């Protein structure tokens, strides 16, 4: 037994290295599956384009590109985080914990939203395709089971494990070097993480003609690109500013969140989602599917936007306590519940 192992056994915390390795391997496996999805989707796009022009048109290659990018990013993320977990790195635990919390919260919200509208969606699908009622019922249960496992159970398991004090202590012991994730309270780091993600994904609007809702109008082309560019720069500034615990960045976060939510509510109070997707040049087949399922009515979008505004504003008010004077930044970091 090495001196390090003896120190761990004699200390006040329980070494969770084995658990970190197990959870790390699980994440690498997830990353492997995501990586496999990329060539499959690319091959599907190429095959449909070469073999069946009408199928390619209904698929709309531009609709598939975000999915390919998404799976590629997930593959890199899970493999990177899995390796970091196996090595018991502080930054890996911090990033896995905040991303798992976001995964869980978003998963619960998405799960509830789908449960409210899924019965109508599958019933209408069954009517349109003359599918037997038993098959429709099986599809409902399979979807509920899939979402329960991947949207709730798995992220909840990650949150429970990486949120344990013993896991934090193990990473601190095995990775004594102060990392960049240690310089910001994790609740605030989650906000910075969100802003960075939103800024990155706004680039994808370029695939759809820079179409974006803006205070009652649907902008596209040069006007849409200009709004997207300004929003991206603001999000990146707020990501950096919140990480630095800059009070001005917190205020900008509050104001931009309110403005963006109001813009969405006002726009979709006047414009239907079908009109918005038509502006994005969605394929006719997908527009019909959206219309049939009835999920994206104006009232639903307004309620959904209002709900997420309340949730995120509440969280911004919660993390307000960490935005203090530079002298107190170190003490604020120590107050993190994570």
Q: What number of helices (H) and strands (E) belong to the chain?
A: 15, 2
Mean pLDDT of 158-184: 94
Four-residue CA torsion sign, 167, 170, 171, 176: positive
Binned at pLDDT 50, 70 and 90, residue 113 comes out as confident
Which of 316, 333, 325 has its CA nearest to residue 191?
316
236-250, 254-268, 300-314: segment of lowest average pLDDT: 300-314
Looking at residues 258-275, what average pLDDT do you find? 83
CA-closest candidate to residue 213, choices 283, 277, 256, 306? 277
- The answer to whether residue 240 is domain-embedded is yes
Q: Given this model, what pLDDT does residue 5 score?
A: 46
Confidence of residue 120 (pLDDT cuts 50, 70, 90): low
Q: Dump pLDDT digits (tens) for 20-73.
A: 999 999 999 999 999 999 888 777 666 666 655 554 444 456 667 788 888 999
Please report how many Cα atoms fall inside a 13 Å half-sphere around the Cα of residue 328, on the Cβ side. 9
Please indicate, yes or no, if residue 153 is contained in any of the structural domains. no
Q: Which residue has the higher pLDDT, 326 or 310?
A: 310
Which residues sit opposite 214 in a β-bridge? 217
Are 296 and 287 a contacting pair, CB within 8 Å?
Answer: no
pLDDT of residue 206: 85
Q: With 70 as the cut, is the pLDDT of residue 289 above it?
A: no
Is the pLDDT at 287 greater than 70, yes or no? no
Res. 327: pLDDT tops 90: no
Which two three-digit tokens encode residue 98?
Answer: 């905040």
**What is the per-residue pLDDT for 6?**
44
pLDDT-based confidence at residue 154 (cuts at 50, 70, 90)? very high
Token digits of residue 330? 């170190």
Residue 265 lies in a domain: yes
For residue 303, tell me if it sits in a domain. yes
Residues 136-146 as b/e (b if ≥16 CB within 10 A, e otherwise) read: beebbeeeeee
Instruction: Look at residue 283 and tell me if it is in a domain.
Output: yes
Listed in sequence order, the residues at least 6 apart from 302 whose beta carbon sits closer than 8 Å to its beta carbon are: 265, 268, 269
**Hey, which bits of the chain come out as E strands?**
212-214, 217-219
Q: Which residue has the higher pLDDT, 238 or 62?
A: 238
Q: Is the pLDDT of residue 318 over 50?
A: yes
Instruction: Share the mean pLDDT of the chain.
Output: 81
Residue with tokens 């509208």: 117
Cβ neighbours for 203, distance < 8 A, ≥ 6 positions apart = 228, 232
Which domain covers residue 195, as residue numbers?
A: 184-338
- Cα three-residue angle 149-119-295, rounded to 5 degrees: 95
Residue 278 has a pLDDT of 77
Q: Which of 6-20, 60-74, 75-89, 102-116 has the highest mean pLDDT?
A: 75-89
Q: Is residue 61 part of a domain?
A: no
Q: Give the pLDDT of residue 306.
A: 75
* Residue with more model confidence, 100 or 129: 100
Using alpha carbons only, what angle is made at residue 6 by residues 3 and 12, rounded to the nearest 5 degrees? 130
Residue 128 binned pLDDT confidence (cut-offs 50, 70, 90): low
282 three-state secondary structure:
coil
- pTM to 2 decimal places: 0.81
Residue with tokens 């593959």: 75
Residue 136: the pLDDT is 64
| DSSP3 helix / strand / coil % (the chain, rounded to 5) | 85, 0, 15
Residue 327 is given by DSSP the state G
pLDDT given at position 1: 43
The Cα 298–Cα 167 span in angstroms is 45
More confident residue, 68 or 287: 68
Q: 300 or 129: whose pLDDT is higher? A: 300
**pLDDT confidence band for 288 (50 / 70 / 90):** low
Share of the chain above pLDDT 70, in %: 75
For residue 12, what pLDDT is reported? 75
User: Would 74 be classed as within a structural domain?
Assistant: no
Q: Is residue 164 in some structural domain?
A: no
Give me the pLDDT at residue 225, please: 93
The Cα 303–Cα 271 span in angstroms is: 15
Q: What is residue 90's predicted lDDT score, i.e. its pLDDT?
A: 96
Total domains present in the chain = 1
The C-alpha angle 94, 98, 102, rounded to 5 degrees, equals 165
User: With 50 as the cut, is the pLDDT of residue 267 above it?
Assistant: yes
Determine the pLDDT at residue 47. Answer: 65
């Amino acid at each position: 037994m090495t001196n390090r192992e003896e120190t761990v056994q004699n200390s006040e915390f329980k070494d969770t290295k084995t658990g970190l390795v197990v959870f790390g391997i699980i994440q690498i496996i997830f990353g492997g599956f995501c990586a496999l999805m990329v060539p499959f989707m690319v091959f599907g796009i190429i095959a449909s384009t070469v073999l069946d022009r009408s199928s390619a048109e209904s698929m709309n290659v531009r609709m598939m590109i975000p999915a390919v990018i998404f799976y590629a990013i997930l593959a890199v993320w899970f493999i990177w985080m899995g390796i970091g977990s196996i090595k018991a790195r502080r930054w890996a635990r911090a990033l896995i914990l905040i991303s798992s919390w976001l995964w869980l919260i978003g998963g619960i919200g998405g799960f509830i939203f789908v449960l409210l509208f899924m019965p109508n969606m599958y019933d209408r699908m069954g009517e349109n395709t003359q599918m037997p009622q038993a098959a429709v019922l099986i599809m409902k249960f399979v979807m509920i089971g899939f979402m329960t496992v991947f949207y709730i159970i798995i992220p909840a398991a990650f949150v429970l494990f990486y949120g344990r004090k013993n896991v934090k202590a193990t990473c601190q012991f095995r990775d004594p070097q102060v990392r960049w994730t240690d310089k910001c309270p994790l609740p605030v780091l989650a906000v910075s993480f969100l802003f960075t993600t939103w800024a990155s994904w706004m680039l994808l609007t370029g695939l759809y003609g820079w179409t974006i809702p803006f205070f009652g109008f649907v902008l596209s082309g040069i006007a849409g690109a200009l709004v997207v560019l300004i929003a991206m720069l603001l999000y990146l500034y707020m990501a950096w500013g919140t990480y630095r615990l800059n009070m001005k960045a917190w205020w900008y976060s509050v104001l931009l969140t309110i403005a963006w939510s109001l813009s969405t509510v006002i726009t979709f109070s006047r414009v239907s989602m079908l009109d918005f997707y038509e502006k994005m040049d969605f394929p006719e087949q997908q527009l019909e599917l959206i219309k049939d399922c009835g999920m994206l009515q104006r009232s639903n979008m307004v309620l959904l936007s209002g709900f997420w505004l309340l949730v995120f504003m509440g969280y911004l008010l919660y993390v307000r306590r960490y935005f203090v004077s530079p002298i107190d930044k170190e003490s604020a970091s120590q107050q993190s519940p994570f």
